[in-house]
């Protein structure tokens, strides 16, 4: 990277604030505009300069474009940014930006939480209209050995949790929605399932110790999360050496109706990105298969299309590397 261009890119205070915002979290232009309290034309211009200088990457998904700081930023540029960011963090403008970023995150979270809280009582019907039980079976088939301790992350009302309980020694279900967990605990009591435990928690900050389960399942959940790479790092962190992460989700698509009607944050995932995230989190290998099942077949209307579902199994090295716990932070 040209050092003069690097210095120029970080010389403007607003541009530095814009970079600091997208270094914290992937944001749209409108969200960056909200965080730094500036006009759209100025924010767009500064994002373009930061992208040209190698500080920022963009990702188009459906009708939205998301911006984030590059993970592969050149070392001199990264160190210069960190130095300036540390100094700038002490200024009033930075503290105001942080407060607005927190407010932006909370609005996103409330939208997702609100959706799941509102549908908890009817979730099983909605889930089955969205994807059938064959997807659950395919996930379990990836890990049939019995007598394991496994985690069902983003467990909802426990449909997969209870299936896993038939094979596992213990299943720990984690979900952010209190209403979903209330329903899951009620079903466990009603069915007499005593080898399950439900915990409330954020999948970006899993309430599980490192290397505490033999396998972690994350089925049709990743597309709701703001930072899937961080979530995958967390999944890998909690799995013991030699264990597996089973991920089931949507292939990359352009069906905006899923974002609008079902609160999806991501419109599916590209295989290469998933493999990169898993390897960065310390996985030794990743197997990826298309299931032949489609999400939304029963509810897609007016030209909307269903989307194919994939299943991926990442295997952790037999000896712990410690990489996943660092990437989750």
Tens of pLDDT, residue by residue, the chain (329 residues)? 466 667 777 778 888 889 989 888 888 899 999 999 999 999 999 999 899 888 898 988 777 888 988 877 777 777 877 787 777 777 788 888 988 888 887 777 666 666 666 666 666 666 666 666 666 666 676 665 668 999 999 999 998 999 899 889 999 999 998 889 999 999 999 999 999 999 999 999 999 999 999 999 999 999 999 889 999 999 999 999 999 999 999 999 988 888 877 788 899 999 999 999 999 999 999 999 998 888 876 666 667 888 899 999 999 999 866 555 444 54
Buried-state track 28-37, b at ≥16 Cβ within 10 A, e below 16: ebebbbbbbe
Quote the pLDDT of residue 219: 92
Q: Is 255 in contact with 102 (CB distance < 8 Å)? A: no
What was the pLDDT predicted at 132?
63
C-alpha closest to that of 311 among 86, 160, 90: 160
Give pLDDT, residue 103: 85
User: In sequence order, which residues have a C-beta less than 8 Å from that of residue 256 and are 6 or more positions away?
Assistant: 62, 63, 267
The predicted pLDDT at position 326 comes to: 46
Q: What per-residue confidence (pLDDT) applies to 325?
A: 47
pLDDT at position 298 is 67
d(CA 43, CA 193) in angstroms, rounded, equals 54
143-151 LR contacts (CB < 8 Å, sep 24+): 143/215, 143/217, 143/244, 143/246, 143/313, 148/213, 148/214, 148/215, 149/212, 149/213, 149/214, 150/213, 150/214, 150/215, 150/216, 150/217, 151/208, 151/213, 151/215, 151/216, 151/217, 151/238
pLDDT at 33: 92
| Domains in the chain with CATH codes | 3-90 (1.10.10.10), 118-328 (3.40.50.150)
Res 237: pLDDT: 97
Tokens of 315: 């295997």
């Amino acid at each position: 990277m040209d050092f003069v261009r690097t210095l120029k890119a970080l010389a403007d205070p607003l541009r530095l604030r814009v970079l600091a915002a997208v270094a914290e979290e992937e944001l749209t232009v409108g969200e960056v505009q909200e965080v730094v309290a500036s006009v759209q034309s100025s924010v767009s211009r500064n994002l373009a300069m930061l992208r040209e200088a190698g500080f920022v990457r963009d990702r188009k998904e459906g009708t939205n474009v998301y911006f984030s700081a590059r993970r592969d930023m050149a070392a001199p540029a990264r160190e210069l940014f960190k130095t300036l960011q540390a100094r700038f963090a002490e200024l009033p403008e930075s503290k105001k930006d942080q407060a607005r970023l927190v407010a932006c995150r909370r609005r996103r979270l409330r939208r997702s939480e609100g959706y799941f809280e509102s549908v908890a009582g009817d979730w099983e019907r909605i889930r089955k209209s969205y994807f059938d039980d064959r997807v659950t079976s395919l996930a379990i088939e990836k890990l049939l050995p019995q007598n394991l301790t496994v985690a069902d992350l983003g467990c909802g009302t426990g449909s997969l949790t209870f299936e896993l309980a038939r094979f596992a020694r213990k299943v720990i279900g984690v979900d952010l929605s209190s209403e979903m967990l209330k329903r899951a605990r009620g079903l466990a009591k009603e069915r007499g399932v005593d080898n399950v435990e439900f915990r409330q928690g954020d999948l970006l900050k899993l309430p599980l110790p490192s290397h505490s389960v033999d396998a972690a399942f994350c089925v049709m959940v990743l597309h709701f999360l703001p930072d899937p790479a961080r979530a995958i790092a967390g999944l890998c962190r909690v799995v013991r050496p030699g264990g597996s992460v089973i991920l089931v989700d949507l292939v990359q698509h352009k069906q905006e109706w899923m974002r609008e009607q079902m609160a999806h944050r991501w419109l599916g995932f590209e295989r290469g990105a998933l493999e990169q995230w898993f390897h960065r989190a310390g996985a030794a290998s990743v197997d990826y298969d298309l299931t032949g099942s489609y999400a939304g077949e029963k509810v897609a209307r007016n030209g909307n299309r269903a989307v194919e579902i994939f299943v991926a199994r990442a295997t952790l090295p037999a000896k712990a590397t410690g990489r996943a716990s660092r990437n989750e932070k």
